[in-house]
Structure 1
């Protein structure tokens, strides 16, 4: 039986958006759509955004890319990867998502590049 994996879904957040909130939300929606598919394969998906965005609001971030954003956004995801079993890289070009893959690789985590590479697990 396949063990359940905690998988960080890493995709573009700001890339290609010019920091337009509507386009950023589309990127988050794409990651959350994939997270649902990961869950339906029997695993526990997580997004760094689920942890970072509430902290950013609470810490007083005023806009994407400000000092508070830089303090929290990617560092939270890097810390989260240490708790995960794997990283699933989705979407187009993204320095941040590539950083998550590099962090996962450095920490010895499994790296998936397609949903079909993730083994199905029965509940």
Structure 2
């Protein structure tokens, strides 16, 4: 299955780059586990951040960032088989879960909930 990993990005970080990176690392670690289980993991950040930079964003939460960051993840969810929600509070990750449900996609809350790819 192609599964979007949805977790906090900015939430609880105060926009501190090291704390944001820790959130991305947690999502990436989960993506690696999904890959090793035979699935195709994706993160919205993998798609959005290069485009945000190319489009000229000057900082997290500016108009260019907001134009691309969550909208691209919503489009990605529509193409996925499901969403794996990880981590703590996050309006954005909760939005990805709601988007998945609106598209009739599966929502998981732990790796062990995901069927084997075998």
Aligned partners of 2:116, 2:104: CA distance in 1, in Å?
Answer: 21
* 3-state SS, counterpart of residue 11 of structure 2: coil
Give the structure 1 partner of residue 45 of structure 2: 49
Question: Of 95, 103, 107, which aligns to 1:107?
Answer: 103
* Structure 1 residue 93 corresponds to structure 2 residue 89: yes
Q: Render the CA deviation track for 1:15-70: whole Å, top value 9, x for unaligned.
A: 00001111000000000000000111110000000000000010001110000010
Unaligned runs of 5+ residues in structure 2 are none
Scaled by the length of structure 2, the TM-score of the pair is: 0.99
Aligned partners of 2:71, 2:102: CA distance in 1, in Å?
Answer: 15
Scaled by the length of structure 1, the TM-score of the pair is: 0.95
Give the structure 2 partner of residue 36 of structure 1: 32
Give the structure 2 partner of residue 63 of structure 1: 59
Give the structure 2 partner of residue 117 of structure 1: 113
Measured on the aligned residues, the alpha-carbon RMSD in Å equals: 0.5
Structure 1 segments of 4 or more deviating over 6 A? none
* Displacement after TM superposition at 1:119 (Å): 1.1
* Displacement after TM superposition at 1:102 (Å): 0.2
The within-5 A match list for 1:2-17 is 5-17=1-13
Aligned partners of 1:115, 1:82: CA distance in 2, in Å?
Answer: 20
